[in-house]
């Protein structure tokens, strides 16, 4: 299967596994990685730097209309929604929060699912609210691959459990299995 992108959503308790994923991949990774993680709105910087410490691939906090490249990770900037356009570009939006979240994982996942259809891999990690459940469902409905971090392993279960309630996912994986899956791409 020729995938076009991986999108990862997470909130409370997801930092370690995201770090681990980024540390396991190298710049030859064949896809762009979109990261939509809940973060403090008034803290502008520091997050990319913290994630970059152990990452082997470059991580960007994209500007509006930036073009996505393989082997790079794109972290949704604070206080913006990150939309994925058909032309492999990012569009940012300062629209209302959704589920008290901006960036909203649902909106990133839904726009990515519309842009990449069956060529998208969506992963929901540990988190403390229900954001991402509708987005992952959309990934599945459009024929993409859906993965949820095993709730028994997740630091905070609400987000993975809520995703599992909303959609029949392809895989419930531990962090080891998620990394292994990505390395095989």
Partner 1 sequence: MIELGIVDIREIIRLIKAHYDFDFSSCSLTSFKYRLEHVIAKNNLNNAESLFRKLTDEPDFFDTFLHQLCVPSTEMFRDPSVWRWLRESYFPSLDEKHLMNFKIWLPYCVSGGELYSLAILLKEINLLNKVKIFASSFSNESIKNIKAGVYPFKKSEVSVENYRRFQGDTDLSDYFKREKYNVVRDTSLLKNVEFIKDDITFNNAPNNIKLILMRNVMIYFNPAHQEKILQKVHDSLSAYGNLIIGLKEQIKTNHNIHGLFEAVELNESVYKRKIV
For the chain, state the CA radius of gyration.
14
Residue 138 Cβ vs partner 1, minimum distance, rounded to whole Å: 9
Which listed range, 5-13, 20-28, 29-37, 81-89, lies at the site for partner 1 (CB under 8 A)?
81-89
Which of the following is catalytic: 14, 101, 108, 131?
Answer: 131
Among 6, 1, 16, residue whose Cα is nearest residue 156 = 16
Under the criterion CB under 8 A, does residue 184 sit at the interface with partner 1? no
Under the criterion CB under 8 A, does residue 80 sit at the interface with partner 1? yes
Residue 87, classified by CB atoms within 10 Å of its CB into exposed (0-12), middle (13-18) or buried (19+), is: exposed
Tokens representing residue 152 in the block: 């028994």
Under the criterion CB under 8 A, does residue 180 sit at the interface with partner 1? no
Residue 47, classified by CB atoms within 10 Å of its CB into exposed (0-12), middle (13-18) or buried (19+), is: buried
Gap between the Cα atoms of 49 and 34, Å rounded: 16
Give the nearer residue to partner 1 in terms of CB position, either 10 or 77.
77
Place of tokens 């024929």: 143
Under the criterion CB under 8 A, does residue 84 sit at the interface with partner 1? yes
Which of the following is catalytic: 14, 24, 38, 108?
Answer: 38
Residue 94, classified by CB atoms within 10 Å of its CB into exposed (0-12), middle (13-18) or buried (19+), is: exposed
Under the criterion CB under 8 A, does residue 91 sit at the interface with partner 1? yes
Under the criterion CB under 8 A, does residue 44 sit at the interface with partner 1? yes
Under the criterion CB under 8 A, does residue 62 sit at the interface with partner 1? yes
Give the nearer residue to partner 1 in terms of CB position, either 107 or 136.
107
Q: How far is CA 155 from the centre of its chain?
A: 17
Q: Is 38 a catalytic residue?
A: yes
Which position among 35, 107, 123, 163 is part of the footprint of partner 1 (CB under 8 A)? 107
Gap between the Cα atoms of 135 and 53, Å rounded: 29
Which of the following is catalytic: 11, 55, 101, 126?
Answer: 11
Under the criterion CB under 8 A, does residue 92 sit at the interface with partner 1? yes
Binding footprint of partner 1 on the chain (CB under 8 A): 42, 44, 61-65, 77, 79-80, 83-86, 91-97, 107, 111, 114
**Catalytic sites, residue numbers:** 11, 38, 131
């Amino acid at each position: 299967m020729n995938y076009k992108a991986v999108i990862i959503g997470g909130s409370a308790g997801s930092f370690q596994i995201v770090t681990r994923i980024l540390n396991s991949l190298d710049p030859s990774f064949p896809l762009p990685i979109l990261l939509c993680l809940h973060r403090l709105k008034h803290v502008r910087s520091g997050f990319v730097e913290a994630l970059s410490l152990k990452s082997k691939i470059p991580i960007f906090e994209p500007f509006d209309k930036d073009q996505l490249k393989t082997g790079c990770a794109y972290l949704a900037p604070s206080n913006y929604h990150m939309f994925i356009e058909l032309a492999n570009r990012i569009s940012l939006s300062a629209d209302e929060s959704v589920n008290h979240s901006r960036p909203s994982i649902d909106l990133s996942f839904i726009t990515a699912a519309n842009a990449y259809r069956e060529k998208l891999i969506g992963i929901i990690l540990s988190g403390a609210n229900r954001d991402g459940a509708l987005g992952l469902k959309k990934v599945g409905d459009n024929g993409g691959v859906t993965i949820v971090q095993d709730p028994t392993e997740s630091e905070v279960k609400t987000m993975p459990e809520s995703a599992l309630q909303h959609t029949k996912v392809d895989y419930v994986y531990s962090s080891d299995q998620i990394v292994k899956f990505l390395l095989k791409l």
